[in-house]
């Protein structure tokens, strides 16, 4: 039997948890068990099929584990005996532990659509060999239907058309693509950018059946219309991978995630922690469980879990929800609450917008117009959320807004923000859109 101080089950967030443990407790032995031979960067999966040119260019090297003194065991954990503190592996080997971290991630959601098991119908699994098969198959297809217009669906649609003569249709059940994440005006802008590339977008539409004998030949929509398809990609979301945790007797919570406290410690066992998609998320704003699955949240939780293994002093503030994406060269990002969500929660809010070129002057090469939308609580002036569209700088601007949200900054405090600017790198300090959006909120908040 192998012995270790800390045993981590899982991939990406497990790596972060292991590194965090080694950083805080360098004398502890850490073993990471995962069944995948290669760990992919989950957010980079759509880009395998366009920008990066294959799964081999979207991996996290195992050298990162070796560099941090973490032993890797490529095997699958099949049972956990919490009383004896032993994990059994598929190979028959057993590992004893002092502390156990579940970082088992999530699995693609597969809808109960007739024909979903036909050949060339692909849920998006985080598996190198599987995604390589999809990559090879995509070289010969002509008609691709993507079911789901969230992040996965939109990014796949944008990437799969690069370098290929292929017809792509996105079918989304909601009235807008990306509606679960963004307000209507940003959804509309993203759709326009996607359709510019020739991708067909069908909203308020459901797939009733996947057609064909053994291999897909098309899909039938709820209204009876049929679309040709020699490949179908399922991009409708993910479910937590918690079957092993359930078998181990750990208490599960919202959406079958492992119930954890703010220290990422399980409710059931003080020596078991969980982080990432398999762990329950609590909203930063309401304290209620939320179904968010984002790499940024997973790695934050993993750092907290690793730090708390032998001294539970670090606390999770809750899920803010920060994301960014790119559609046909235009970046879109959101942090915190959207206007739609805030109003659904019955919040009294002040909404402002501002825009400016991301260079000054705006006539500099490769300049893009940046649009910022901010949401403040009217009674307190505290920022609740923000959204941005524009060029590459949007990816870091949204992180600035996230920091403002996390520290509950007010509009007045953001107005006093001293930003670093440069003609080729940022908007002018006179019209810096985050600050200008906050300026517009001051008077309505005071009224």
Q: Are strands 216-221 and 86-89 parallel, antiparallel or unpaired?
A: unpaired
Residues sharing a CB contact under 8 Å with residue 403, sequence separation 6 or more, in sequence order:
none
CA angle, residues 389, 181, 106, in degrees to nearest 5: 125
pLDDT tens readout for residues 235-266 = 999 999 999 999 999 999 999 999 999 999 99
pLDDT surpasses 80 at 60? yes
pLDDT at position 9 is: 97
End-to-end CA distance of the chain: 69
Q: Are strands 59-60 and 39-40 parallel, antiparallel or unpaired?
A: antiparallel
pLDDT tens readout for residues 14-45 = 999 999 999 999 999 999 999 887 888 889 99
Dihedral angle at the C-alpha atoms of 127, 209, 277, 36, nearest 10 degrees? -10
Q: CA-CA distance, 303 to 286, in Å (whole number)? A: 23
- Residue 362: pLDDT band (50, 70, 90) is confident
Q: CA-CA distance, 126 to 40, in Å (whole number)? A: 7
Q: For 336-342, what is the mean pLDDT?
A: 97
DSSP state of 339: H
pLDDT at position 446 is: 83
pLDDT tens readout for residues 262-288 = 999 999 999 999 999 999 999 999 999
- In this prediction the pTM is 0.94
Domains in the chain, please, with CATH? 2-35+75-107+239-308 (3.50.50.60), 121-236 (3.50.50.60), 329-446 (3.30.390.30)
Is there a contact between 8 and 72 (Cβ–Cβ < 8 Å)?
no
Q: Own/partner pairs for 56-65, CB < 8 Å, 24+ apart?
A: 59/128, 60/12, 60/15, 64/15, 64/19, 65/15, 65/18, 65/32
pLDDT at position 447 is: 75
DSSP state of 259: P
pLDDT tens readout for residues 418-434 = 999 999 999 999 999 99
């Amino acid at each position: 039997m192998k012995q270790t101080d800390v045993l981590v089950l899982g991939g990406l967030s497990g790596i972060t948890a292991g590194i965090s443990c080694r950083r805080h407790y360098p004398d502890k032995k850490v073993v990471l068990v995962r069944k995948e031979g290669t760990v992919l960067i989950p957010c980079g999966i759509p880009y395998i099929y366009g920008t990066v040119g294959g799964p081999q260019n979207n991996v996290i090297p195992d050298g990162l584990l070796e560099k941090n003194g973490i032993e890797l065991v490529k095997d699958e954990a099949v049972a956990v005996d919490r009383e004896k503190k032993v994990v059994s592996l598929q190979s028959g080997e057993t590992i004893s532990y002092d502390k156990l971290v579940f970082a088992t991630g999530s699995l693609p959601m597969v809808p109960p659509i007739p024909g979903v098991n036909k050949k060339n119908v692909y849920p998006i699994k985080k598996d190198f060999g599987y995604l390589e098969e999809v990559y090879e198959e995509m070289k010969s297809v002509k008609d691709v239907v993507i079911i789901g217009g969230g992040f996965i669906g939109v990014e796949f649609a944008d990437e799969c058309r690069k370098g290929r003569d292929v017809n792509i249709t996105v079918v989304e059940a909601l009235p807008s693509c990306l509606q679960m994440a963004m307000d209507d005006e940003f959804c509309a802008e993203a759709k326009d950018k996607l359709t510019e590339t020739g991708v067909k977008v069908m909203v308020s539409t459901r797939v009733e059946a996947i057609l064909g004998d053994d291999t897909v030949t098309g899909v039938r929509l709820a209204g009876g219309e049929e679309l040709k398809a020699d490949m179908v990609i399922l991009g409708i979301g993910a479910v937590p991978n918690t079957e092993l945790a359930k078998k181990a007797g750990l208490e599960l919570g919202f959406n079958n995630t492992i119930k954890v406290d703010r220290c990422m410690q399980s409710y059931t066992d003080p020596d078991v922690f969980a982080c990432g998609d398999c762990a329950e998320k609590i909203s930063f704003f309401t304290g209620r469980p939320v179904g968010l699955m984002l790499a940024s949240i997973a790695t934050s939780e993993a750092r907290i879990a690793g730090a708390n293994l032998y001294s539970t002093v670090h606390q999770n503030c809750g899920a803010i929800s920060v994301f960014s994406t790119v559609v046909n060269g235009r970046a879109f990002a959101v942090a915190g609450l959207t206007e739609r969500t805030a109003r659904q929660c019955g919040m009294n809010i002040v909404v402002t917008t501002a825009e400016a070129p991301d260079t000054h002057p705006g006539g500099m090469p490769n300049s893009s117009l940046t649009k910022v939308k901010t949401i403040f609580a009217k009674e307190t002036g505290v920022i609740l959320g923000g959204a941005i569209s524009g060029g590459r700088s949007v990816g870091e601007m949204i992180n600035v807004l996230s920091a403002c949200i996390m520290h509950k900054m007010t509009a007045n405090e953001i107005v006093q923000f001293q930003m670093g600017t440069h003609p080729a790198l940022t908007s002018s300090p006179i019209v810096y859109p985050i600050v200008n959006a906050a300026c517009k909120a001051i008077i309505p908040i005071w009224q």
